[in-house]
Structure 1
Amino acid sequence: MPRVAVKGQAMVCVGIIGVGRWGPNLLRNFLSMDNVGVKTVCDIDTKRLALIKKRFPTLATTSEPTSLIDDPEIECVVICTPVSTHFSLAEHALQRGKHVFVEKPLAASSDECNRLIALAQNQQKILFVGHTFKFNAGIQAAKHYIDSGELGNIFFIDANRTNLGPVRYDTNALWDLASHDISIFSYWLGCTPISVSASGGCYLNSTIEDVVYATFIYPGNILAHVHASWLNPRKIREITVVGTKKMLIWNDMSLTEPIRIYNRGFDKDDIYQDTFESFRLSIREGEVLIPSIKLNEPLLAECEHFIDCVISGKKPLTDGIDGLQVVKALEAATRSIHQNSSIILIDAEE
């Protein structure tokens, strides 16, 4: 069906499944776009649908995902539901010839991811994964400094993603929180991890890890560590990157200084030394650079990129392959947790 034109602008018709915790943010951003028309929202919670209908009277609502997906006017289906439902909903939507936006993680297993990727390719439709932080201006600025060599060769990356809640009952802190950091690590380094060792603790629920510590090894022996937890008194969204020349800290909680670059580290003394062991290191205390970064709304940038890919047919920054690689890392970390923090190799083949 051809797109409806409004004020000379072709409108992409969108349906959204899941408007509970995160879905309303997606709904708000898609509604703000001039080239998008949101037709229907779906949720199994009828009270939630009533609230949506009260706020947005022109939107159609349904508690049946099938009716939304099968609607011939809807060109794109946005899925923001528990991860256990991602595969079946995305598969159905792709089979019906829809472009699909799936919140992270793409699916509950790499096998499901591969099946969705193959189906999207066969149907010649966009399969898009909601790795929002790739669209964060601070994260993009940090990648620029890493790629430019400003920091030198990267030694290691250390991430902290904690808060007191919200507690999830359908997945653990690894899949809910650390998936963001795995996506960021691979984006910054331009490659995927080789191995992982992880541990976690179940305190609020005997079968779900509330806190996870995972260390990934990337090519070049770069360590990338993440601490993820919803059982912590402080909300922290911070990543430290340590290089041979300089160090960088990204702090998502800072609205004015999301990036700081530290010209700090260790230098070898220039005085003559007759053995390797006698070399001395001196601390380098240089300046701190706070670059001016125009902050954006990453979720809006993500939604705009998805629609742009639908219209132009170009490959998304966060396509199915990108989602697959994150799920492979999550699967390996999960196995490590269940095997007493053993080192697990990650299959990097597509």
Structure 2
Amino acid sequence: MKPRIAVLGCGYWGSNHIRTLKALGALHAVSDANRARAEGFASEQDCLAIDPEELFSRDDVDAIVMALPPQFHSETAIKAVEAGKDVLVEKPVALTVADAERAVAAAEANKRIFMVGHVLRFHPAFEKLKALIDSGELGEVKYVHAHRLGLGKFHTENDALWDLAPHDLSMILAITGSAPVEVRGEGAAILDHMSDFALVHMRFANGLRGHLFASRLNPYRERRLTVVGTRAMAVFDDVEPWERKLAVYRHAVWQDSGQWAFTANEPTYVQVEEGMPLTRELEHFLSCIRTRAAPRTDGEEAITVLRILTAGTVTHG
């Protein structure tokens, strides 16, 4: 039998979880502080509507997907795992490292699955990119940079860095295999005291460098992750159509008589099997519940992401 999942939080992203879990045959219940909203989804998806205060004591709920305002994630996750529920918590998992650490420790103490919604780790193009890196196709990775730009999604609790950067940081950590030893952030608040632009520089112990640029006040959308290796470069561009989402550039750079020379080659587009990242993420969550295997995006990774966010945050008066 598939695990019986409840979605707590029926807002924009919670509604995506609801519909995807329904398609996977694992949606058992929905829950929201707005009872009418929950009942609307329950009627639409033919599942139960359960009040949030009753959700944790229900024996017919095996796990909870949490898509709440981030300030409520850690306390709610602790309550859930202490009640014996596995959890998938949307990003950011908390607003402080200490809160994230308490939630992860509670899950470990209660032997519960604790997964974080870094959904782009399950994007087929990123999975293919990671396979290319692991196979040595790009050579030794020397630099990674991510640009996530667009207009909108303004939050009262989250600035551009905390709202937009967790996905890219998760991918960068998967590529580097370690946390950075140095983090430096720059930010600019245009609308109010919250940063609308954020630039984070990272240095890793093996000499690898990286940066991340996030903006919510940009006139065009950019969703690009670039990896520079000693043999080739690769770009995962999620704005492009599927047949062009993953490109490999085999440029050549060398020294000739003390001068640098290069040849710029046309990109090779890598075939990527189409698939919805959220569907693949939730399938992974269901598998982890059944097998008790550690999630690909576990609590320790979420804590590392929060440490980078915290170190890269610029406070504005």
TM-score category of the 2 structures, normalised to the smaller one: over 0.9
What is residue 5 of structure 1 aligned with on the other side? none
Distance 1:82 1:265 in 2: 47
| Residue aligning to 2:11 | 20
Residue 194 of structure 2 contacts residue 316 of structure 2 at CA under 8 Å; is this kept in 1?
Answer: no
Question: Following TM superposition, by how much is the alpha carbon of 1:44 offset from its aligned partner in structure 2, in angstroms?
Answer: 2.3
Alpha-carbon distance between aligned partners in 1 of 2:236 and 2:190, rounded to the nearest angstrom: 29
Query: Which residue of 187, 190, 198 maps to 1:212?
Result: 198
Corresponding residue of 2:49: 61
In 2, distance between residues paired with 1:96 and 1:145? Answer: 41
The equivalent position to 2:136 in structure 1, one of 141, 149, 152, is 149
Check conservation: 1:40, 1:68, Cα contact below 8 A.
no
Count of aligned residue pairs for this structure pair: 316
**Which of 250, 262, 266 is the aligned partner of 1:263?**
250
- Separation in 1 of the partners of 2:237 and 2:52? 38
Q: 1:296 aligns with which of 275, 292, 303?
A: 275
Aligned CA distance change for structure 1 residues 339 and 162 (closer, same or farther; 3 Å): closer
Report how far residue 73 of structure 1 moved. 1.1
Q: Distance in 2 between matches of 1:262 and 1:227?
A: 22
Partner of 2:221: 235
Q: Which runs of 5+ in 2 are unaligned?
A: none
Q: How far apart, in 2, do the equivalents of 1:11 and 1:240 lie?
A: 38
Answer whether contact 2:125 2:246 (CA < 8 A) is retained: yes
Residue 306 of structure 2 is aligned with which of 319, 327, 335? 327
Name the CA distance, whole Å, in 1 between partners of 2:186 and 2:219: 20
Equivalence for 2:28: 39
| Equivalent residue letter for 2:2 | M
Cα deviations by residue, 1:297-328 (Å, 9 ceiling, x for unpaired): 11111101111111111111111111111111
- Specify the SS of the correspondent of 1:260: strand
Q: Whole-Å Cα distance in 2 between the matches of residues 218 and 339 of structure 1?
A: 27
Q: Secondary structure at the match of 2:10?
A: coil
The answer to whether the aligner puts 1:104 opposite 2:81 as a matched pair is: no
CA contact (8 A) 1:263 1:284 kept: no
Q: Which amino acid aligns with 1:338?
A: T
Aligned-residue offset at 1:126: 0.5
Pairing 1:170–2:157 present = yes
Equivalent residue number for residue 305 of structure 1 = 284
Distance 2:138 2:298 in 1: 28
Does the 8 Å contact 2:149/2:216 carry over to 1?
yes
1:138: which partner in 2?
125
Under a length normalisation based on structure 1, what TM-score does the superposition of the two structures give?
A: 0.86
- Conserved? CA contact 1:267–1:284, under 8 Å: no
Task: Write the deviation string for residues 315-350 of structure 1: whole angstroms up to 9, x where unpaired.
Answer: 11111111111111111112xx2399xxxxxxxxxx
From the CA coordinates, give the structure whose radius of gyration is larger.
Answer: 1
Verify the 8 A CA contact 2:184 2:312 in the aligned structure 1.
Answer: yes
- Of the three residues 87, 99, 106, the one matched with 1:119 is 106
Cα distance, 1:293 vs structure 2: 0.9
- Asked if 1:224 is matched to 2:215, the reply is no
Give structure 1 stretches of 5+ with no counterpart: 1-9, 274-278, 341-350
Match of 2:261 among 274, 278, 282: 282
Q: Following TM superposition, by how much is the alpha carbon of 1:182 offset from its aligned partner in structure 2, in angstroms?
A: 0.8
Residue of structure 2 in register with 1:72 after alignment: 59
1:252 matches 2:238:
yes
Q: Deviation of residue 229 (structure 1)?
A: 1.2
TM-score by length of 2: 0.94
Q: What's the CA shift for 1:154?
A: 2.1
SS at match of 2:265: strand
SS of aligned partner of 2:179: coil
